[in-house]
């Protein structure tokens, strides 16, 4: 894909909360090129247009497309296989989750459970702090705090549902391979 299309696709996958700018994309592409994780290919494109003097001209422009290399695929698989604390932190969780279909179920569960635990800890701290400072806040600051608490509670419920679904799917798979009694 070329940079414009890559940015568009990533923004669709990552959602509105994590829009990727060209200022972030192109330096990342340069780093990945340098590491050998992607390769670039330049192709010429032609376009016709009218010049300021009214004549029709043809311009040749190079379009650079990027392709994942074998080393890049290996690096991606390695990163998707990691399930440590950085995988469930705010900065990384959404990106990791967007590519969960390429992640082993055990790792998905570890990441989901780690994220849920982290949010439950955060929720407890915020609720304790809110109880202490409630009398010092105006109603708008209180509403903002309440909104934050409700958002975290909603994400914890969502994570719990995902974990339950993963476990259910994991329990069904071995049974699917068992011969039936009717055979």
Separation CA 1–CA 40 (nearest Å): 9
Asked, for residue 25, whether it belongs to a domain, the answer is: yes
Please tell me whether residues 69 and 107 are part of one structural domain. no
| pLDDT per position as a tens digit, 94-118 | 888 988 988 999 999 999 999 999 9
Structure tokens at 37: 């994780």
Structure tokens at 24: 């972030």
Please tell me whether residues 130 and 89 are part of one structural domain. yes
Evaluate the CA torsion angle 101, 81, 24, 68 in order and state its sign: negative
Is the Cβ–Cβ distance between 121 and 89 less than 8 Å? no
Number of separate domains in the chain? 2
Nearest to residue 113, comparing CAs of 165, 159, 166? 159
Please tell me whether residues 93 and 163 are part of one structural domain. yes
Please tell me whether residues 95 and 69 are part of one structural domain. no
152's enclosing H/E stretch is helix 139-176
The whole-number pLDDT of residue 62 equals: 84
50's enclosing H/E stretch is strand 38-50
Please tell me whether residues 90 and 159 are part of one structural domain. yes
Please tell me whether residues 151 and 104 are part of one structural domain. yes
Please tell me whether residues 91 and 149 are part of one structural domain. yes
Please tell me whether residues 90 and 166 are part of one structural domain. yes
Asked, for residue 177, whether it belongs to a domain, the answer is: no
Asked, for residue 181, whether it belongs to a domain, the answer is: no
Please tell me whether residues 149 and 119 are part of one structural domain. yes
| pLDDT per position as a tens digit, 11-65 | 888 776 677 888 989 999 999 999 999 999 988 766 666 666 666 666 667 889 9
Q: What's the mean per-residue pLDDT of the chain? A: 85
Separation CA 68–CA 49 (nearest Å): 34
Secondary structure class of 17 (helix, strand, coil): helix
In this structure, the chain runs to a length of 183
Is the Cβ–Cβ distance between 83 and 111 less than 8 Å? yes
Is the Cβ–Cβ distance between 169 and 108 less than 8 Å? no
Q: What are the backbone angles phi and psi of residue 2, rounded to the nearest 5°?
A: -85, 165
Give the structural domain span for 19.
Answer: 3-46+61-75
């Amino acid at each position: 894909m070329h940079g414009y299309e890559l940015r568009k696709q990533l923004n669709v996958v990552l959602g509105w909360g994590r829009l990727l700018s060209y200022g972030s994309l192109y330096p990342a592409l340069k780093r990945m090129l340098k590491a050998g994780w992607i390769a670039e290919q330049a192709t010429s494109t032609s376009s016709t247009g009218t010049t300021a003097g009214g004549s029709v001209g043809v311009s040749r422009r190079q379009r650079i497309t990027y392709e994942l290399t074998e080393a890049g695929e290996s690096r991606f698989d390695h990163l998707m296989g990691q399930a440590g604390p950085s995988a469930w932190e705010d900065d990384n969780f959404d990106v990791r989750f967007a590519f969960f279909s390429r992640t082993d179920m055990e790792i998905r569960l570890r990441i989901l459970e780690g994220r849920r635990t982290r949010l439950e800890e955060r929720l407890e701290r915020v609720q304790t702090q809110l109880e202490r400072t409630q009398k010092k806040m105006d109603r708008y600051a209180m509403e903002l705090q309440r909104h934050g608490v409700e958002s975290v509670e909603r994400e914890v419920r969502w994570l719990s549902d995902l974990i339950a679904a993963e476990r259910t799917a994991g329990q069904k798979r071995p049974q699917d391979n068992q011969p039936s009694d009717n055979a």
